[in-house]
A and B are shown apart, each in its own frame.
Chain A
Amino acid sequence: MACEMACSYHRDDGFAFLSACIVAYRAREKRDYFGILLKEEEFLKVARPEGLEVNRIGEAADPNKEADASAKPMLLREGCDLCEDMDDYGPMCIVICPVDAITLE
């Protein structure tokens, strides 16, 4: 969640989660299933424990997949700009991740 906070900070200059384009996927709490969602301009990337899934935004979702209810839909958020205005740091989610789980390729 620190990545969400840092991403949102880059847009709002304050601490919030609403503006983040990177989101920790933690709705399946009882099943201990977590991942990371990243909204880009054209793609939604889903980093799951079992691997990376890249979906083009606008394509029909798999109707067989269970959807999570959330007050903050991903598709309404701005796409990742790699924190282009944060000259001293680069992408904030990478800088702030305490366990270096996020990398840029």
Chain B
Amino acid sequence: MEYLSTDKILVIDLATSEIEETALDESLVSEKIGGAGITKYLYDKFQNDDPIVIGTGLLTGTTCPASAIGLITAKSPVTGKLCHCPIIYKVGIEIKFSGYDHIVVKGVSDNPVYLWIHDGVADISDASEIWGKDVWESTDSLRKHVGDDLLQTMIIGKAGENRSDYAQICYNYWSSPDRFGFGKLFGSKKLKGLAFRGMGLIEVADHENFVRRSLEILKEIKTNDFMTKKGIAEIASALGEAGIKEWLEPIVHRHSADYFTPYATNTAVFLDEDPKRVEESKVAEPGVLISDVPALLAFKKLGLSAEDTGRAFKACAKYGIDPAAVAELSGKSSLQEIVDSFDGLSGTVTLKGKGHFSSWCPLKPIFNNFGLSGDAAKDETWWERRQAIALIFGIQPIFSIMCPELSEEKLLELSRIGTELDLTQDILDRVVADLLK
């Protein structure tokens, strides 16, 4: 596959330490488009080895607005369902630029390892020095070891090592959309995580037309009222949570966006530093970055202050445990009790939707209603399809449920321009149907 692609799929067998590269066939893109369409195909192909498939969308890391994400496809060790978890922040695009469109990790390692993927090279590395360390220490250690502060990581903490059902794969230092216990899956394979860095070049079939259409779509997006808003509190407020902005505002430091996403879906809060500080903090770990609106609301509902909610998020991110599961199952209402509950957490997390996509992304449209009637069943069908589309093309899922301008037709149009393949609505409908069945 010559365009919008690295043309490489990586297959790593942790049991034998064998690493194999195969080409991404154009025929596979013609049939499955990309992202979740291809990661599901690869999962099915290697399903006897209980694989973890890491992939990128067809448009990931391009000038298509919000083309920010990669994804993890695997069977949840908790629900037994095939699930797809978005890879957000700046981690998803780094996968593609590190030299691979898709990475299949199969088998079980005898000893703790991490995978170091960089500039088209993959190594299985000894993780004995970081096994036992929390997520933050592990990312710091890997960045120092490689000598690059922009190294991007997918890492488990002690929850994953201890094979907790609520263990979450974290990205760099932060909680992720993993609601599926993929952290437990990593732990059971003795896989501490993956580190990515790359300076690859993605070629485009008709680059001038692709960029021109991207900029036209961006111009349309910028007419939205949501362009005057930022951060997670605005999202929660749009979902009907009264008073959330006033509750959170005193500790907000800054809002940030995933790669080229016009709305800042992440909010950094400062807990041990003045949130209004403009200069670089002298405090090594002044706060935490939050992207999980449902978990934020669940902590608030427990009666936690905004500051204690931030501290709970920070503790969850270090331990590598799903903050939404902690909020739902701990049954505690003080910060210390919540943190103390990590090891003994038990119970069943309420499943939202069909369970294939992460309910980290709110289940209702935000800021725009997409012409929905308010019928719950129809809204859920719309949400499932919208998630599938986002994960096929590599679009930030929260942005996809606020931005009608980023339509299926436009994403297909950019894909055709970028690849010169005849990618049609019929093909997309078949790929979506396969993901939703």
Which A residues have a C-beta under 8 Å from some C-beta of B? 1-2, 5-6, 9, 12-18, 26-34, 49-50, 68-72, 88-89, 95-96, 98-99
Contact = CB atoms under 8 A, between A and B. Distances in A.
9 contacts: A1-B259, A16-B199, A16-B200, A32-B268, A33-B280, A68-B149, A70-B149, A98-B222, A99-B262
A49 B276 CA distance: 11
Interface in B282-336: 283-287, 289
Contacts of B261: 98
B391 to A, nearest CB: 20
Given A15-B201, A69-B149, A70-B150, A30 B253 contact: no
A5 B260 contact: yes
A15 B281 contact: no
A47 to B, nearest CB: 13
Nearest to A67: B149
Contacts of A17: 97, 199
Given A33-B281, A49-B278, A98-B257, 17 more contacts: A1-B93, A2-B260, A5-B61, A12-B201, A13-B207, A16-B200, A29-B172, A31-B280, A32-B253, A32-B256, A32-B281, A71-B147, A96-B215, A96-B218, A98-B222, A98-B260, A99-B262
Nearest to A18: B199
Contacts of A5: 61-63, 260
A46 to B, nearest CB: 12
Nearest to B230: A99
Contact of B62 (A15, A31, A68): A15
B204 interface: yes
A6 B63 contact: yes
A14 B61 CA distance: 11
Interface of B: 61-63, 65, 90, 93, 97, 136, 143, 147-150, 172-173, 197, 199-204, 207, 211-212, 215, 218, 221-222, 227, 253-254, 256-257, 259-262, 268, 270, 278-281, 283-287, 289
Contacts of B254: 32, 34
Nearest to B222: A98
Nearest to B268: A32
A29 B270 CA distance: 13
A95 B215 contact: yes
B262 A14 contact: no
Nearest to A100: B222
A32 B204 CA distance: 33
Contacts of B172: 29
B136 A30 contact: yes
Contacts of A14: 201-204, 207
The winner among A16, A29, A33 for most chain B CB atoms within 10 A is A29
Contacts of B93: 1
Contacts of A88: 212
A33 B61 CA distance: 23
B201 A16 contact: yes
Given A49-B278, A99-B262, A27 B63 contact: no
Contacts of B260: 1-2, 5, 96, 98
Nearest to B173: A30
A75 to B, nearest CB: 16
B287 A32 contact: yes
B204 A15 contact: yes
A18 B198 CA distance: 9
Contacts of A68: 149
Given A16-B199, A71-B148, A71-B197, A28 B211 contact: no
A5 to B, nearest CB: 6
Nearest to B275: A32
